[in-house]
Amino acid sequence: MLALYTLKVLIIYMESGGDMLDLYTLKVLIIYMESGGDMLALYTLKVLIINMESGGDMLALYTLKVLIIYMESGGDMLAVYTLKVLIIYMESGGDMLALYTLKILIIYMESGGDILTLYTLKVLIIYMESGGDMLTLYTLKFLIIYMESGGDMLALYTLKVLII
């Protein structure tokens, strides 16, 4: 079947006046067939198509890297979350929150699922949504102290006082 796909791709390549997408498509199809039908190649093909249709949107390139990492890691969920964050980042026009979110998710996964990073993520979201209110930065520091102290109640009271 590879020869048939290759033939179709070459025909498309010639008819399109030499669009580079078809060369990439050809490589992906070859990889797909040689790998015995690895799904990554199909996803890669979709990403390349999106990249070309969007006029070269960088999201597709990042998406491709994430999918490769996802497959190489044996299906690590971090890659899926990373992909969602990158999509949000691009859709928001480049909101920095997505980059911070990405870093936090990486830390969360590397720490074995420490709850602090989930709270940190919520605080960063509040910080960005509030237009950069300094209270959330202090809140973040106190949450870190609270978790590092093993749950000292003083940090919670301090947090309530700061909010008041």
Query: What residue type is assigned to position 157 of the chain?
Result: Y
- Give the residue extent of every domain in the chain: 114-164
What pLDDT, on a 0 to 100 scale, did the predictor assign at position 9?
Answer: 56
Single pTM value for the model: 0.25
Angle, in degrees to the nearest 10, between helices 134-148 and 115-129: 170
Mean pLDDT of each 10-residue bin along the chain, 164 residues long? 56 58 60 60 60 58 59 59 59 59 59 61 61 63 61 57 51
Instruction: For residues 150 and 112, give the distance between their C-alpha atoms in angstroms, rounded to a whole number.
Output: 17
How far is the C-alpha of 77 from the C-alpha of 144, rounded, in Å?
25
Strand, helix or coil for residue 152? coil
